Structure 1
Amino acid sequence: MEEVAKPRNLGGSLPVPNVQDLAGRPDDLALTPTLLHRYLRPQPNTVDLLLDAPSDEQEQDHVPVIDLGRLLGQDGGGRDEEAATLRSACEKWGFFQVVNHGVPEETMEEMKRNVMGFFALPLAEKASFAQEPGGIEGYGQAFVVSEEQRLDWADMFFLLTQPPSYRDLHLWPSNPSTFKDCLESYSVAVQRVACDLLRAMAENLGVRDHSDMTRLAASQAVRMNYYPPCPEAHVDRVLGLSPHSDAIGITLLLQVSAVPGLQIRRDGGWVPVMPLPGALVANVGDVVEVFTNGKYKSVEHRAVVNARQERMSIAAFHSGKFGTSYGPLEEIVGDDEVRYRSVTVEEYVKLVVSSKLDGKNIMDAMKITT
Structure 2
Amino acid sequence: MDDAKPRHLGGSLPVPNVQDLAARRDELTLTPTLLDRVPTPLPAKEQEQIPVVDLGRLLDLAGGREEEAARLRWACENWGFFQVVNHGTPEETVEEMKRNVMGFFALPLAEKAALAQEPGEIEGYGQAFVVSEEQTLDWADMFFLLTQPPSYRDLRLWPSNPPTSKNCLENYSAEVQRVAGELLRAMAENLGARDHSDMTRLAASQAVRMNYCPPCPEAHVDRLLGLSPHSDAVALTLLLQVSPVPGLQIRRNGGWVPVMPLPGALVVNVGDVVEVLTNGKYKSVEHRAVVNAREQRMSTAAFHGAKFGGTYGPLKEVVKEEEARYRSVSVEEYTKLMLSSKLDGKNIIIVPKVNELKTEESLAKLSVATLASLKQ
TM range (shorter): over 0.9
Find out whether 1:366 has 2:351 as its counterpart.
yes
State the Cα deviation string for residues 275-314 of structure 1 (Å, max 9, x = none): 0000000000000000000000000000000011000000
Q: Which consecutive unaligned segments of at least 5 residues does structure 2 have?
A: 358-376
Find out whether 1:144 has 2:130 as its counterpart.
yes
Give the one of 59, 70, 92 matched to 1:84. Answer: 70
Once the two structures are TM-superposed, the CA of residue 40 in structure 1 deviates from its matched residue by 1.4
User: Is the 2:338–2:349 Cα contact (8 Å) retained in structure 1?
Assistant: no
Give the counterpart letter for 1:219 in structure 2: S
Give the counterpart letter for 2:47 in structure 1: Q
Give the one of 274, 281, 290 matched to 2:260. Answer: 274
Once the two structures are TM-superposed, the CA of residue 144 in structure 1 deviates from its matched residue by 0.3
Once the two structures are TM-superposed, the CA of residue 364 in structure 1 deviates from its matched residue by 4.9
Q: Which residue of 2 aligns with 1:24?
A: 23
State the Cα deviation string for residues 1-47 of structure 1 (Å, max 9, x = none): x32310001111100000000000163x1x42xx3311114443xxx
Q: Which residue of 1 aligns with 2:323?
A: 337
Give the one of 43, 54, 66 matched to 1:52. Answer: 43
Find out whether 1:210 has 2:180 as its counterpart.
no
Q: Which residue of 2 aligns with 1:295?
A: 281
Q: Percent identity of the aligned residues? A: 78
TM-score by length of 2: 0.93
Q: Which residue of 2 aligns with 1:64?
A: 51
Residues 346-365 of structure 1 aligned to structure 2 (within 5 Å): 346-361=332-347, 363-365=348-350
User: Is the 2:44–2:258 Cα contact (8 Å) retained in structure 1?
Assistant: no
Task: Say which SS state the counterpart of residue 131 (structure 1) adopts.
Answer: coil
User: Is the 2:125–2:142 Cα contact (8 Å) retained in structure 1?
Assistant: yes
Find out whether 1:8 has 2:3 as its counterpart.
no
Superposition RMSD on alpha carbons, in Å? Answer: 1.0
Once the two structures are TM-superposed, the CA of residue 348 in structure 1 deviates from its matched residue by 0.1
Change (3 A) 1:221 1:287: same
TM-score by length of 1: 0.94
Q: Which consecutive unaligned segments of at least 5 residues does structure 1 have?
A: none
Please give the alpha-carbon distance, in whole angstroms, between the structure 2 residues aligned to 1:114 and 1:343: 37
Give the counterpart letter for 1:38 in structure 2: T
Give the one of 231, 235, 249 matched to 1:249. Answer: 235
Q: Which residue of 1 aligns with 2:270?
A: 284
Once the two structures are TM-superposed, the CA of residue 315 in structure 1 deviates from its matched residue by 0.1
Task: Say which SS state the counterpart of residue 204 (structure 1) adopts.
Answer: helix
Q: Which residue of 2 aligns with 1:305?
A: 291
Give the counterpart letter for 2:75 in structure 1: A
Pick which of 170-179 and 59-68 moved more.
59-68
Please give the alpha-carbon distance, in whole angstroms, between the structure 2 residues aligned to 1:113 and 1:36: 32
Residues 151-170 of structure 1 aligned to structure 2 (within 5 Å): 151-170=137-156
Give the counterpart letter for 1:233 in structure 2: A
